[in-house]
Amino acid sequence: MSQHLQREIEQLKKKILALGATVENSVREAVDAVERRDIQLAEKVIRRDNEIDQLEVDLEEDCLKILALHQPVAIDLRFIVAVLKINNDLERIGDLSVNMAERAQMFGTSPHVLIPFDLVTISEKTQQMLRLSLDSLVNLDASAARDVCRMDDEVDRANRQTYGLVKDAIRTHTEQVDVHIAYLSVSRYLERIADHATNIAEDVIYMTEGYIARHGSGGK
């Protein structure tokens, strides 16, 4: 029974990592679609959402089946609980990628305007957080997970700064209000993705150490 449980846990690990890779790809392509105003790439991200949703449902069913059949304890139980939570965060990141892709479709059919804030820096930091959170999951690395938690403050600060920059852009170009507000939404979506990456990192800390890192500083 124990060997069977361990095999199923290994399968869970492979599936959550496959979902993570798919979601990470969607984030990257959604950001590219926004930066390049690429309608076709945006449509590709939107179509992929059904695949992500199905992977999320399959993973949840696998976790519940293992809990019912094997009644795991200790580290095995923590792992399965963490996978259930990470699974949900990844599905939400996939949804946020779709939100960004829909904004990219709007940009692709609107007159070109300059992005009023540093989208590249915010998006790169967010994608770095997601990548590092998934790496911490692969390697069960609580130290890397704590790094993700600390990086979240940087993305939060950058997102707050975008509000002032967008307000200034709207005052200067009143005819471009809708487009600037849409860019502000993109910044917000990236900030939410960073939050979900932080959730994943906190779950890795819980998985590896049994420490609940929410509402704190990642277990410092």
pLDDT at residue 144 above 90?
A: yes
What pLDDT was estimated at residue 44? 98
Dihedral sign, CA of 132, 138, 144, 147? positive
Q: What percent of the chain has pLDDT over 90?
A: 67
Sign of CA dihedral 182, 38, 40, 32: negative
Q: Return d(Cα 69, Cα 153) in angstroms, integer.
A: 41
d(CA 145, CA 82) in angstroms, rounded, equals 13
Confidence (pTM)? 0.91
Give the C-alpha separation, 59 to 106, whole Å: 33
Set out the domains of the chain in order of their start, with CATH numbers: 2-209 (1.20.58.220)
Encode pLDDT of 23-67 as tens digits: 999 999 999 999 999 999 999 999 999 999 999 999 999 999 999
pLDDT higher than threshold 70 for residue 1: no
Better pLDDT: 151 or 215: 151
Token pair recorded at residue 98: 């779709």
Assigned token pair, 181: 């507000």
Determine what percent of the chain is predicted with pLDDT higher than 70. 96
Q: Which token pair is 12?
A: 């869970």
CB 21 within 8 A of CB 74: no
DSSP 220: -
Q: Is residue 211's pLDDT more than 80?
A: no
63-81 per-position pLDDT tens digit? 999 999 888 888 889 889 9
Work out the average pLDDT over 178-198.
Answer: 95
pLDDT band per the 50, 70, 90 thresholds, residue 219: very low
Contact between 5 and 171 (Cβ < 8 Å): no
Q: Are 182 and 107 in contact (CB under 8 A)?
A: yes
Quick one: pLDDT at residue 220? 43
pLDDT band at 172, cuts 50/70/90?
confident
Residue 217, pLDDT > 50, answer no
